[in-house]
Chain A
Amino acid sequence: MISSTILLSLAMLPQGPRVESPQPESPQFHAPVRLKAGDDYIKVEAPGYAAPCYYDVDGDGHKDLIVGQFKGGKMHVFKGTKSGTFQKGDWLKAEGDIAEVPGVW
């Protein structure tokens, strides 16, 4: 199952949750790396809200990156390579047309 997130804008922030943080056993991470496809950073159309999914969608043995966005409810597919990089992307298609999830503005 690929679960692609379509996102919302603006704030109506509820009261914050109770937080246990940081935990002694909290995982540690290397510095964040902004991902590229080819030579360009992966980025989505305005108003943003990139929603990544990492899955071998084409079944070639290399995991791909599917990135959903708010605008038009569209998703970009960046094919993964043997070296772990991503190729330049293309819109996900559904029945031959660019897939658009309805109800996303």
Chain B
Amino acid sequence: MDLNGDGFVDILSGSYSRHDPNMAGLFQVLYGTQDGTFKKPVALNGADGEPLILPGSKKNVTDMICTRPFACDLDGDGKLDIVAGNFSGSFGFFKGTGKGKFEAKATWLEAGGNKMTVPAHSDPFLIDWDGDGDLDLLSGSSSGGAFLFPNRGSKNAFEFGPMQTLLAAGAQRMPFGDKPKFGDAHIKTPQHGTRVWADDVDGDGKLDLLIGDQLTLQHLADGVDAATAAEKMVSWEKRQKKLFESMQSDDPKAQEAFQKNYEALQKERKEFVVDETTGFVWLMRQK
């Protein structure tokens, strides 16, 4: 489908901030062209001619930071609407007015009278997940996992039910006391910061999930074997934990000492382990 109805597929993206004090993330469109290429991104405007922005204020600025806008005809009037996720984890609904235009003000989607939320970084993807003819809402979250808000209304009158978990959130980051693991072979499931897509990838007639994530891997530093690195890591984590426990936040001298010790610890850590922060893409085939 294409956003402006010109027959060419477009790309719609969220963005963190337009670098102004309000931290409002804009919806960016890369319009497709006849030869299959794309134009450079431009901000998507509302019916008032101003860039579409999720509702918010300085008090709740994270509501305005857009993580993902998703275009679909949620209310069944034949015009594309936009459901947009944000940093806070809620979902804004911009009603479409046709040909890629949208009302300037959004309303928050609700389920059972409560604002729909996931544990931050909402990630709307709408599809008829349960095959009842209306659009259901899938989402990842900052904590990981994949979630479903089933549409219990109809194609022309959406009404979302409470959130269901399709995939539990990922493990906690860097748990103290766990045996250190290096490389990526032990990573068997999506981790944090999940982004979802659904399609029948394997062609068996059931919708599958494609999930992107975010994680930090630990690699052995050059010349260091796994046993040595593990031993040093356990010792290092104990000392870091002790350092944090000893921090005196209201004493400038203690703060200075803390900072010095913290930096020394970080430098020491790099002697036996190297971090790599990245994200993978996973396929979860539905049975």
B193–A11 CB distance below 8 A: no
Give the contact-size bracket for chain A.
Answer: 35 or more
Would you give the shortest CB distance from A89 to chain B, in whole angstroms? 11
B37–A34 CB distance below 8 A: no
Would you give the shortest CB distance from B64 to chain A, in whole angstroms? 12
Would you give the shortest CB distance from A3 to chain B, in whole angstroms? 5
B95 in contact (CB, < 8 A): no
B169-195 CB contacts (< 8 Å) to partner A: 184, 187-190, 193, 195
A17–B41 CB distance below 8 A: no
B163–A46 CB distance below 8 A: no
Would you give the shortest CB distance from B103 to chain A, in whole angstroms? 18
B281–A93 CB distance below 8 A: no
Residues of chain A with a CB closer than 8 A to B142's CB: 8, 11, 13
B10–A14 CB distance below 8 A: no
B284–A103 CB distance below 8 A: no
A21–B284 CB distance below 8 A: no
Partner pick for B277 among A28, A47, A68, A99, CB 8 A cutoff = A47
A16–B119 CB distance below 8 A: yes
Would you give the shortest CB distance from B157 to chain A, in whole angstroms? 21
Partner pick for A49 among B85, B89, B210, B279, CB 8 A cutoff = B279
Closest to B71 in A: A1
Would you give the shortest CB distance from B88 to chain A, in whole angstroms? 6
Alpha-carbon gap, A33 to B286, bound state (A): 12
B199–A29 CB distance below 8 A: no
Question: Which of A6, A9, A75 gathers the greatest number of chain B CB atoms within 10 Å?
Answer: A6
B70 in contact (CB, < 8 A): yes
A to B CB contacts below 8 Å, 19 in the list: A3-B11, A5-B123, A6-B15, A8-B16, A9-B193, A21-B164, A27-B286, A31-B188, A42-B280, A43-B278, A43-B281, A44-B278, A50-B213, A63-B199, A65-B210, A73-B15, A92-B38, A95-B38, A101-B15
Partner pick for B276 among A3, A46, A58, A65, CB 8 A cutoff = A46
Closest to B276 in A: A46
A67–B281 CB distance below 8 A: yes
A1-59 CB contacts (< 8 Å) to partner B: 1-9, 11-14, 16-23, 26-35, 41-55, 57-59
A21–B119 CB distance below 8 A: no
A27–B212 CB distance below 8 A: no
B214–A19 CB distance below 8 A: no
Q: Tell me the B residues contacting A by CB distance below 8 Å.
A: 1-3, 9-19, 25-26, 28, 30, 36-41, 62, 65, 67-72, 80, 85, 87-89, 114, 116-121, 123, 125, 142-143, 161-167, 184, 187-190, 193, 195, 197, 199, 201-202, 206, 208-216, 276-287
Residues of chain B with a CB closer than 8 A to A99's CB: 11, 30, 38, 40-41
A3–B281 CB distance below 8 A: no
Partner pick for B210 among A45, A52, A94, CB 8 A cutoff = A52
Residues of chain A with a CB closer than 8 A to B213's CB: 48-50
A48–B37 CB distance below 8 A: no
Contact A17 B117, CB 8 Å, known A58-B36, A101-B28: yes
A32–B125 CB distance below 8 A: no
Would you give the shortest CB distance from B37 to chain A, in whole angstroms? 7
Would you give the shortest CB distance from A48 to chain B, in whole angstroms? 4
Alpha-carbon gap, A3 to B30, bound state (A): 10
Given contacts A6-B16, A101-B28, 10 further A-B contacts (CB under 8 A): A2-B9, A3-B11, A13-B119, A14-B120, A26-B166, A32-B211, A34-B280, A49-B212, A57-B9, A63-B199
A21–B165 CB distance below 8 A: yes
B17–A103 CB distance below 8 A: yes
